[in-house]
Structure 1
């Protein structure tokens, strides 16, 4: 029987985990198996190889935000603010959603070591405006910030997460009644907005013994006049076409483009597959996420956006490139500034990344 995440006994939520089609043999699984490269090689290259440009050499341009910036209602009904990596604030249908919020200095289980952010949070936490829900995709350190959860828990917010992740939230002080946990394709309403957890191809865990004991997902976020797709962390999967058919088209997609490598091609998309995923879900404007804030792979820190722009140009996909802290309404104005420096990077021909097992064509 499925254990209550971190609780030690069974409860109704644990039974939901056990009944999930994704749960068997004591943990959650992807629909496609994951093929990883040799672990020794991955660790060796991460610590002793890779690009010499994995971190910026000078401070990055950041658009600083305060609560006052959110006091003005979006003219179009849809506005997004990129706070770096995968942290965004999506305002849609009169609701304000805080997605995968990370304010921590490091994406790590300790405060003194591990990937360190390239810039301070563009929005100080004490300036965070009222939000209708905090939306989480999975429990990795670069998406789930323990100290932030502990800080926000007394505010009695709604927390929406995939199955099992609520165990961490409750442990860190979030009242059980504030947490909703979803399986893939399950939906929940926040005000007049419908959120549907969508399949993703990734993994979970925050340390020894927790590998794949919680689920991972993306989200469709739908109001009467706008739709947004957030992919979460994912590799390429056949389900993108199904997501587009069932829940699209989308005015805006938020899709990860960084932290990829051929040694873990079944964990992250990479730029070319990210653009393909955007097209498969029937996206309009694409906002690339999961790059430019943490050193989580071997590529140069600007390579994800450079390769994304090349692939997007090839397929006539409109890309938004806001500075960290940038705020925009996709139907009114899409930021296209090139705010990052020119540093060496590898092309798809030099460093291809393609996920295994998919029946989709390899389009770069």
Structure 2
């Protein structure tokens, strides 16, 4: 019997549901109602309330998963409504022991730390590193930006999937691409911006182009777009950029609620 296809459902912002090798993962769930918390202070369009858009699916459907992956604990990746909706015994994977302890303190009992060779069933989950902004950003905002991670999903019978997380293009991303040769790379590409500072704290057009040039055979899927106040890059503008640079056929920009079948 043929196995079920790998699918990625763009929920909203960085929240994804990934069906991989017969297992359903929920990544970075932000399940708050539209306009339920303030814009991030000191960032682009901070007067806007977050999230900018409604959830496209019922919460009960979103949390019907086997495990949760948290790339970091910023409130647009892990919020109180998500904590309330998920069962306390669901497996939760975090980037480090500090985040794991924070999740345990919130009442979750099966919290695991991602490493170089973490397994969940017969799926390997490999933690990768990233950088949530430029060196200039970290010089003034290190405490707010913090540590972040990505994850590589691998299985003998499936395509290798790289979830980069909240990072800009840097040596960590280049190393992950070289080491794992992913078939698919999910990029947080909304180009979130801090007021008065150049560059984004997640990927923008130039970062996405760098990923394509480093891994031209990988299908790129753009996430973390059009849902939070400080994201400046739209799906339409990213598609136009990719088409102009000749890699539009290797980029998908799924809308909220849309499922990509790999």
Name the TM-score class by shorter chain: 0.7 to 0.9
Deviation at 1:265, TM superposition (A): 2.4
2:129 paired residue number: 199
For these two proteins, the number of residue pairs brought into alignment is: 239
Counterpart pick for 1:323 among 247, 255, 259: 255
- Give the distance between the partners of 2:150 and 2:34, measured in 1 at CA: 23
Change (3 A) 1:86 1:189: same
Aligned to 1:195, what secondary structure does the other structure show?
strand
Partners of 1:251 and 1:150 in 2: how far apart?
Answer: 35
Residue 140 in 1 paired to residue 74 in 2?
Answer: yes
CA distance in 2, matches of 1:112, 1:202: 22
Q: CA RMSD in A?
A: 2.7
Deviations 1:87-115 (A, max 9, x none): 111111111111111101368xxx55333
Q: Is the 8 A contact 1:146 1:172 kept in 2?
A: no
2:138: which partner in 1? none
The answer as to whether partners of 2:30 and 2:76 remain within 8 angstroms in 1 is yes
Q: 1:77–1:226: 8 Å Cα contact kept in structure 2?
A: no
Answer with 219-228 or 264-273: which moved more: 264-273
Q: Which position in structure 2 is the counterpart of 1:105?
A: 33
Q: Identify unmatched segments of 5+ residues in structure 1.
A: 1-72, 204-209, 331-364
Q: Give the TM-score taking structure 2 as reference length.
A: 0.80
Residues 228, 283 of structure 1: CA spacing in aligned structure 2 closer, same or farther, 3 A cutoff?
farther
Contact 1:95–1:192, Cα closer than 8 Å, also in 2: no
Q: How big is the shift at 1:128?
A: 3.3
For residue 130 of structure 1, report the CA deviation from its aligned partner. Answer: 3.6
1:36-90: per-residue Cα shift (whole Å, max 9, x none)? Answer: xxxxxxxxxxxxxxxxxxxxxxxxxxxxxxxxxxxxx996621111111111111
Q: TM-score, normalised by structure 1?
A: 0.59
Counterparts of residues 189-268 of structure 1 (less than 5 Å): 189-202=119-132, 211=143, 215-224=147-156, 225-248=158-181, 250-261=182-193, 263-265=197-199, 267-268=201-202
1:127: which partner in 2?
61
SS in 1 for 2:183: strand
Say if 2:132 and 2:167, in contact at 8 Å, map to a contact too: yes
Contact 1:231/1:254, CA 8 A, preserved across alignment: yes
- Per the alignment, residue 308 of structure 1 pairs with 238
Shift of 1:323: 2.5
* Structure 2: distance between partners of 1:219 and 1:264: 27
Larger Cα-atom Rg: 1
Distance 1:191 1:278, change over 3 A: farther
| Cα pair distance change 1:270/1:126, threshold 3 Å | same
Q: Which residue of 2 aligns with 1:344?
A: none
2:15 maps to which of 78, 87, 96: 87
